Each structure stands twice: as C-alpha cells, then as structure tokens.
C-alpha cells in the first residue's frame, strides 16, 4: 500500500480533530436546515445576506437564459464571453484598478498569481495568519517564503530585502476579523521596492465607501497596491474570484498563469449574476451600517459577559475558547439550542487558540444577537 490513509485519519480522530461535512437541507440564509432541524445561522460568509436574495437568483436565471449553463472552454479558447468582460469592467471601475481577471475560485486565483510571478530568486513575505490558499501557493512556489508575525510591521521591515519580491497579506483576516495595516504595508513596499498583494476576501462588500473593501476603508489609494484579490463567494453572494491590478499584470497572468489558461472559465451566467450583485452592493450603505450596528452591539455585550473577543470591527467575531475539545463542546451545546456556530480548531488556527468563529450578517435581526449572547453566556460558563 503506497498510502497509509488509515493511520493519518486515526491520528486526527485520536486528537479529536477529525473533520466531517454536514449536509444542509436549505440554502444559505438567516436560518439553515440540517438534520431536519432549523438553526439560526452564525456560520456564514454571506455577510450582506445576498445569497438568498430573489433578485440575485433572478439575475442568475436571466444569465442562464442568455448564455446557457456553461462557458464550454478555457478563457483563451472560446470561454471568454461579453458577460465576463462586463464583469471585469464593472470591477475595474468600482475598485479603481486598470484591469481585472476572473477565476472560478479564490483558492485558484491565489495559486495562479503566486505561481506565475514568484521565481526561484524571489522572496515572498507572508503574514503568519494568511489564509491557507496563500500559504499553500507560497509553499509550492520555488521562491523563499519568510513569514512575519501577524500584523507586525517592525518584524516585516526587519525581513525585507530591496526589490526582492512580494509582500502578501489579507485585508481582513479570515479567522480573526482584524484588519491589516494596509497603509503601512504599502509604505514598506514602496520604500523597499517590493510589490504588495492584498487578499480582501472578507473586506470586499462589507467595508469602505460603496463596499469597495479594506483599502478604501483605510483610505489607501488603489495604485499603492500592486495586486488585489477577492472572492465573490462571501459578501457578493455568488462564487468565483478576481485578481486586479495594472493592465501589464493582467496581460502577464493571461500569458503565464497556468491555473487561468488551462481551466474552464466560470459559467457566463455566474459572471452576469455577479455583476448584478455588485450593482446592489454599491448602493447598500444602509445594510452595511446596519451590520455595523449589530457588530457594535455584539461586542459591547460580549465584553460585558467576560467573553474573550479580540479586536475586530468586521463581521467576523471570534470568541476564543483555547482548548479544541472545549470549543467543539461549546459549539455542540449551542447547536442543541438551535444556534449554528462553527468551532475552529488547529491546524486552521494556532494551537491553544481554538475558537468559536461567529459571523454576523445583515440578514440577522437584533433579537438574534440578544439570543446569541444569552446562549453564549450559558454555554460558556457551564462548560
């Protein structure tokens, strides 16, 4: 037997870290249905509640009527349609970048960029808490990877070598909800002659004027960041991702990013629906303000209850439990009371920092937050 799968799985199980999927009997919205039960959903990245909006499903249907079910080919063959080009144009104008390229997933977009750009003599500087897709691409690239302490600019500055490669950070960190200091990152990149890449999967749509994301929220001009990437599967309510930057960057990726060239393009209907999601997101200032009010209320009361809630002004609100098994037990207890909350354990987060990853969305009602806090209090104090 060339592969010892059983030992690997048994070991995970022994450590209480075996992962299993749950089958949903409903779509993604304020409530989800599993095991023939309905749960209040605090475990979704659908931050604006867009995924279940009828207008978006209708836009997708319109796209299907016009373009059919699939794109039929990779983008350099015959898979690149006007629906894709329109979405690229919409994104470029919205975010103030010269050009944009679409990908089927954010995971693929990160592989594509990092593998196409970084060669053997380059260095990549990655925040220690970067998403698995960034670290995975980095580990497989021939470039040296230096990881800096989370959001620690002095540490990053001490590692930087002039004109050596790429600094990579998330805009909003996916497991912690805190933001990178993007202005300082841009300064360090400019001073050292390196490029900066920001993965804004969790900031796009939620933060900034018109939902333009973390850079806009922190007033960092678009041209100070060489590569920005984000997904459509979170606040935009659909799926897929994009990379944005200079026209030269996009031309380079079209020629050299194998993950782009040798992969069937996303269905045009999906691109069409995503354009419609962006038009909605741009004008959704009141939904963003409402979400912020839920976040503030949650944080104020959670702190009063003595819960360990690290600094985060985004929809991602971790409650640190510490011990992995205890985090799982707490999540299970919440589920028995009708609240779906995810326990996040190592290796997704550092050892000893297992947590409940609570996500708030504009689909929640004020009463949902009060109920969540009441149940959190009971489920953590009797742990």
Choosing from 202, 212, 288, 355, the residue that interacts with ligand PLP (CB under 6 A) is 202
Tell me how far, at minimum, the Cβ of 228 lies from ligand PLP, in Å.
Answer: 12
Q: Mask 227-246, x = binds ligand PLP (CB under 6 A)? A: ----x-x-------x-----
Q: Mask 150-179, x = binds ligand PLP (CB under 6 A)? A: --------------------x---x-----
* Torsion sign over Cα 195, 200, 203, 205: positive
Site for ligand PLP in 74-133 (CB under 6 A): 105-107, 110, 131, 133
Write the CA distances from 45 to 130, 317, 358, integer angstroms.
Answer: 17, 12, 10
Cβ of 88: how many Cβ atoms within 10 Å?
Answer: 20
Among residues 114 and 339, whose Cβ is nearest to ligand PLP? 114
Is the omega angle on the peptide bond into residue 347 within 30 degrees of 0, that is, cis? Answer: yes
Element (H or E) spanning 64, and its range? helix 54-67
- 65 counts as catalytic: no
Locate tokens 């806009």: which residue? 216
- 368 counts as catalytic: no
Reading the block at residue 48, the tokens are 């604006």
- 234 counts as catalytic: yes
Is there a contact between 230 and 242 (Cβ–Cβ < 8 Å)?
yes
202 is in an annotated binding site: yes
Tell me how far, at minimum, the Cβ of 144 lies from ligand PLP, in Å.
Answer: 22
Size of the site for ligand PLP (CB under 6 A): 14
Tell me how far, at minimum, the Cβ of 287 lies from ligand PLP, in Å.
Answer: 20
Is there a contact between 114 and 134 (Cβ–Cβ < 8 Å)?
yes
For residues 143 and 121, what is the distance between their CA atoms, to the nearest angstrom? Answer: 6
Among residues 110 and 274, whose Cβ is nearest to ligand PLP? 110
- 364 counts as catalytic: no
State the catalytic residue, choosing from 202, 217, 226, 364. 202
State the catalytic residue, choosing from 174, 275, 342, 353. 174
Element (H or E) spanning 101, and its range? strand 99-103
Among residues 139 and 300, whose Cβ is nearest to ligand PLP? 139
Cβ of 286: how many Cβ atoms within 10 Å?
Answer: 9
Q: Identify which of 28, 60, 48, 106 has the alpha carbon closest to the alpha carbon of residue 270.
A: 60
Choosing from 95, 146, 201, 339, the residue that interacts with ligand PLP (CB under 6 A) is 201
| Residue 315 φ/ψ, nearest 5 degrees | -70, -15
Locate tokens 């690229």: which residue? 88
106 is in an annotated binding site: yes
Q: Catalytic residue numbers?
A: 45, 131, 170, 174, 199, 202, 234
Residues at the annotated binding site? 19, 106-107, 131, 174, 202, 231, 348
Residues at the annotated binding site for substrate? 19, 131, 348
Query: Residues interacting with ligand PLP, by CB under 6 A?
Result: 105-107, 110, 131, 133, 170, 174, 199, 201-202, 231, 233, 241
């Amino acid at each position: 037997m060339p592969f010892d799968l059983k030992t690997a799985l048994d070991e995970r199980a022994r450590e209480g870290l075996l992962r299993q999927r749950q089958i949903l009997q409903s779509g993604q919205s304020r409530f989800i249905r599993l095991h023939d039960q309905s749960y209040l959903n605090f475990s979704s990245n659908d931050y604006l509640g867009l995924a279940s909006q009828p207008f978006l499903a209708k836009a997708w249907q319109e796209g299907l009527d016009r373009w059919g079910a699939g794109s039929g080919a990779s983008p350099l063959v015959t898979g690149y349609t006007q629906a894709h080009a329109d979405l690229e144009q919409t994104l470029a104008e919205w975010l103030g970048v010269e050009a944009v390229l679409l990908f089927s997933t954010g995971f693929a977009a990160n592989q594509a960029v990092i593998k196409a750009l970084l060669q053997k003599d380059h260095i990549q500087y990655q925040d220690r808490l970067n998403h698995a897709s960034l670290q995975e691409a980095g580990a497989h690239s021939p470039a040296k990877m230096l990881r800096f302490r989370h959001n620690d600019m002095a540490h990053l500055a001490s590692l930087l070598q002039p004109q050596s490669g790429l600094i990579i950070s998330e805009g909003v960190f996916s497991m912690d909800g805190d933001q990178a200091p993007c202005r300082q990152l841009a300064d360090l990149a400019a001073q050292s002659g390196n490029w900066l890449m920001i993965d804004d999967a969790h900031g796009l749509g939620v933060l900034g004027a018109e939902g333009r994301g973390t850079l806009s929220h922190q007033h960092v001009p678009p041209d100070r960041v060489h590569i920005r990437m984000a997904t459509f599967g979170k606040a935009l309510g659909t799926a897929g991702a994009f990379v944005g930057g200079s026209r030269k960057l996009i031309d380079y990726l079209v020629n050299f990013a194998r993950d782009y060239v040798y992969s069937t393009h996303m269905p045009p209907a999906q691109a069409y629906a995503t354009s419609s999601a962006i038009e909605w997101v741009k004008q959704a200032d009141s939904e963003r303000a409402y979400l912020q009010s839920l976040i503030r209320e949650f944080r104020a009361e959670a702190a009063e209850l003595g819960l360990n809630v690290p600094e985060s002004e985004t929809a991602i609100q971790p409650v640190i439990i510490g011990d992995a098994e205890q985090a799982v037990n707490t999540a299970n207890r919440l589920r028995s009371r009708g609240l779906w909350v995810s326990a996040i354990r190592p290796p997704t987060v550092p050892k000893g920092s297992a947590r409940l990853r609570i996500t708030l969305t504009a689909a929640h009602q004020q009463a949902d937050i009060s109920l969540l806090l009441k149940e959190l209090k009971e489920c953590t104090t009797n742990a």
